[in-house]
Amino acid sequence: MVLTGPRQSGKTTLVRHFLRETHALISLDEPDVREVARRDPRTFLSTNKPPVIFDEIQYAPELLNYIKHHIDKNRNMKGQYVLTGSQMFPLMSNVSESLAGRASVLTLHPLSWGERLGTLPSSSPVEYPVNGIPGGPGPDGIAEGMLRGGFPELTVEKDRDSRRWYSSYVQTYLERDVRNLRNVGDIEEFLRFIKALAARNGQLINMADIGRDIGLALNTVKAWISILVASHQVVLLRPYFRNMGKRLVKSPRVYFMDSGLVCYLSGIQTAKHLLNGPMGGALFESEFIAELIKWNCNKGYQPALYSWRTSDGKEVDCVMEEEGRLWPFEVKSSSTFKVDFAGAVADFMETFPEAKHGRVVYAGEKVWSLADDRITAVPFSWVSMW
């Protein structure tokens, strides 16, 4: 099994907790251990026999071919090697070359709202029954939760200063993941780039504009966005078209996976500032999209999520494609429901009749059914039940 996800999402803690009685844990994050593994992988594996966990496997990719040989000799033995890593692209490139068909891949993101609030995962976000949805956080509680973010350490340590934690997190991320993924010479310049992208959270990416604003070449902007995707900091939502080719060539929207990180990078320090500031709507939207991704990943799925916008300005925030079905979502940060919130979803369903049901997610408390129950508006607290 390969477990990937952003730094500090709890990968090591998770595997140590569940496999502590059956697997030894070897951290390749330690320089001396890593050096031995890379210099003589055969001997290293013979010394550290399975069942074993190799933490941060991307630091010693030389091990993968030898792990492959051991798996091939013992195909009837499952779960002998558990590999973790926080850098998606280089890790998965090596895994696909060496362990194709031999390893399942799971992604662990920061905690979902349900995990933070202590509610158990429930049904599908598209099929969850709308009756009897329990009370959850109101707008102020949602804003407080978004400001703090979903990293486990901040959830467990309630008194921890979140801004100081994110400051340390960003510095560690820049010094470790960024330097390892790409030869970025000017870390301060990369930090300015992240902040510029955070200010565009939820927007269509215009890479030329970003480069012009902070003085970067277009190819550099593309490469640095790939770093953020590779290290699970952001996700790109391509526009939905029936034509797959069009999805690939049109500009995507960018969403940060952790709202607390966006708030830190953008200088948002209070829940009031988040609610009333110009980024409030985009943050609420990205928080919901992150929840959709987490729900799917926690079930072992790779979600197919898109945005949708027409040339005449019709759009919905998110479209999920699931087993050939389409589910449009519109996300509103308002705590008061208005019927016109559902207009974009109705437009999508008229354009794509295969979309049988749509959702409007808002910050209020009541459930509303519209268009002969084909469109349902539900509170944001709904996501805490996933």
Pick the residue with more confidence: 119 or 259? 259
Angstrom distances, CA of residue 42 to CA of 23, 28, 54, 137, 321: 19, 15, 14, 53, 44
pLDDT for 134 beyond 70 = no
Read off the tokens for 343: 């207009």
Provide the pLDDT for residue 133.
Answer: 41
- Distance CA(298)–CA(118), nearest Å, equals 15
Provide the pLDDT for residue 140.
Answer: 82
Residue 264 banded pLDDT, cuts 50, 70, 90: very high
Out of 40-44, 181-185, 278-282, which region has the weakest mean confidence (pLDDT)? Answer: 181-185
Listed by start position, the domains of the chain span 2-107, 113-385
Fold of domain 2-107: Rossmann fold (3.40.50)
φ, ψ (nearest 5 deg) of residue 330: -115, 135
Contacts (Cβ under 8 Å, ≥6 apart) of 86: 4, 5, 6, 7, 9, 11, 56, 58, 177, 231, 232
Percentages (nearest 5) of helix, strand, coil residues in the chain? 45, 15, 35
Provide the pLDDT for residue 131.
Answer: 42
Provide the pLDDT for residue 128.
Answer: 47
**Where would I find the H helices in 53-161?**
63-73, 88-98, 113-117, 139-148, 152-156
The DSSP code for 204 is B
Q: Could you tell me if 245 and 254 are in contact, meaning their C-beta atoms sit under 8 angstroms apart?
A: no
Read off the tokens for 210: 């970003």
Q: Could you tell me if 155 and 116 are in contact, meaning their C-beta atoms sit under 8 angstroms apart?
A: yes
- In sequence order, the β-bridge partners of residue 3 are 84, 106
- Distance CA(72)–CA(257), nearest Å, equals 36
Provide the pLDDT for residue 100.
Answer: 66
Handedness of CA 291, 295, 296, 298 (dihedral sign): positive
pLDDT for 125 beyond 90 = no
pLDDT for 32 beyond 60 = yes
Mean pLDDT of the chain: 86
Contacts (Cβ under 8 Å, ≥6 apart) of 192: 214
Out of 58-67, 239-248, 256-265, which region has the weakest mean confidence (pLDDT)? Answer: 239-248
Q: How many helices (H) and strands (E) does the chain have?
A: 18, 13
φ, ψ (nearest 5 deg) of residue 280: -60, -50
Mean pLDDT, residues 214-227 taken together: 91
pLDDT tens for each residue of 332-341: 999 899 999 9
pLDDT tens for each residue of 62-107: 998 899 888 888 877 888 999 998 765 555 566 656 666 777 888 8
- Distance CA(105)–CA(98), nearest Å, equals 13
Provide the pLDDT for residue 312.
Answer: 80
